[in-house]
Amino acid sequence: MRRSTLLVFLLAPLLVAEADAQDNRVVSFTYNEISSQQYIDQLPIYEDYEEDTIFAPNSVDPPWGGPTPQIRFLGKGADSEIETDAISYGYKQHPRDVSTLSLYFGVSAHSEGLPGTAVRTELPDDRGADIFLSEQNGTNRQIYDGNGIAMQASARKLGLMEVGSANIDGLDMRADAGQFLGIEPLLDPAFYWSVADANGWGGWLAQPEYALPGYTGRDIFYGMPQNGYSNNPLGIHRYAEGGDLGLTDGDDVDALVVIDRDGNPREFDPLVDAILYSLSGNSSSLDVGGFAANALDKTGGDVFQVGLGVLSPIRYTTAAALGLKTDRVDDLVALDFANHALVSAQMSTVPEPSTLLLVFLGLTLLPRRRQ
């Protein structure tokens, strides 16, 4: 057998394994209304679905391509102006009850990050398409880079356009509700989300169903797969009202993690369940001294919590702990928790195809020994 033929035969299983490994490198996310250029050229039929669609990079162009996001969930469809700006599959456990969890997040396009952090290192036009990790120790690092160009150390390509186009707006590090990344998922595959305040009652871009009296961007909605999630024929349902989160007029939930510990994924019980969230940077409560137990210097980069018997919100972690600025410049727009060893395992299990290609070419081009 010729050497080149033999090497192709030997490398083929590794290339297939790499494609499979890339298939497993998935997160779920949404992106916001200014991301309109993302799929216009490639998938014109989805042009009107971008604001309320969940994507996951669960498809590749094997063996050399990087992950390409595919649609995982549709909201209201064509001509919808719904902006799904916070998502969560929900957990049975609270993050503080599990060791070795990291906090993952996305930031708004105008965020800057503290000096020396990955957010600051990334180009300003590119930050909104990336996913970062923090151990809540004042710094952060890049985990996924939007377009994979000039990625930081250990990061992977997410499959999004950058330079002012796609900006992540909601995040769950799992591909689906049942995936285990270090924190127990819910038994029932519920899905939770919040929409932009503009889509709700009295908003300047009010949308059907979300424009019902009392529905706002500070509410948390839920859906079940058997009911079509937000396409439930009986309409959408609220899991928690803004008042349950300690929010008032002018507030807008911008990132979300739901912890439902009572086994009822359809209703928030503040005595046993918990909700972690961030607010948009212009939310009214950030200027209220008494909000979050009189916490000082509140910003859109902070994470707040309500529940577990605490009926008024407290600050779970600060923007500074995540390596973000505290002067209202930085805005946390997506949030989740996971064990990074498990995330890393699904991000890379075998050498990159480019590495295998170099090995292949090097071996095939070696001088042949004369028989």
Evaluate if residue 279 carries a pLDDT over 60. Answer: yes
**Between these two residues, 249 and 53, which has the higher pLDDT value?**
249
Q: Are 87 and 189 in contact (CB under 8 A)?
A: no
d(CA 69, CA 56): 5
Dihedral pair phi/psi, residue 220, rounded to 5°: -115, 125
Strands (E), 271-309: 274-279, 303-307
Confidence of residue 245 (pLDDT cuts 50, 70, 90): very high
pLDDT at 80: 80
**At residue 359, what is the residue type?**
V
What is the model's pLDDT at position 47? 56
Predicted pLDDT of residue 5: 37
> What pLDDT score does 34 carry?
67
Measured from the Cβ of residue 196, the count of other Cβ atoms closer than 10 Å reads: 26
CA dist., res. 168 & res. 142, Å (int): 14
- The residue type found at 110 is H
Q: Tell me what percent of the residues of the chain surpass a pLDDT of 70.
A: 78
Quick one: pLDDT at residue 60?
57
Confidence of residue 11 (pLDDT cuts 50, 70, 90): very low
pLDDT of residue 368: 42
The pLDDT, as a whole number, for residue 6 is 41
Quote the pLDDT of residue 96: 94
Whole-model pTM: value is 0.85
pLDDT digits (tens, 9 = 90+) for 73-90: 878 877 788 999 999 999
- Output the pLDDT for position 225: 87
Q: What is the pLDDT of residue 354?
A: 41
Task: Tell me what pLDDT residue 351 has.
Answer: 38
Is residue 313 scored above 80 in pLDDT?
yes
Which of the residue ranges 42-56, 131-145, 146-160 has the most confident prediction, judged by mean pLDDT?
Answer: 131-145
Residue 255 in this model has a pLDDT that exceeds 90: yes
Instruction: Report, as an integer, the average pLDDT of 40-61.
Output: 64
Taking 90 as the threshold, does the pLDDT of residue 173 lie above it? yes
pLDDT at 346: 76
Beta-carbon count within 10 A of 168 CB: 29
Q: Which residue has the higher pLDDT, 369 or 75?
A: 75
Q: Kindly tell me if the per-residue pLDDT of 100 is higher than 80.
A: yes
Tell which wins on pLDDT, 263 or 320. Answer: 320
Q: What are the tens digits of pLDDT across the range 191-212?
A: 999 999 999 999 999 998 898 8
Q: Is the pLDDT of residue 353 over 80?
A: no
Check residues 100 and 26 and name the one with the higher pLDDT.
100
Looking at the chain, the whole-number percentage of residues with pLDDT higher than 90 is 53
The predicted structure's pLDDT at residue 25: 54
Tell me which of 2-11, 218-227, 288-297, 324-333 is least confident: 2-11
Tokens representing 82?
């719904």
| Lowest mean pLDDT across 92-101, 139-148, 172-181, 347-356 | 347-356
Q: Is the pLDDT of residue 24 over 70?
A: no
Structure-block tokens of residue 227: 């009911």
Average pLDDT, the chain: 82
Q: How many CB atoms lie within 10 A of CB 155?
A: 21
Q: How many separate helices (H) and strands (E) can be counted in the chain?
A: 5, 17
Residue the block writes with tokens 């916070």: 86
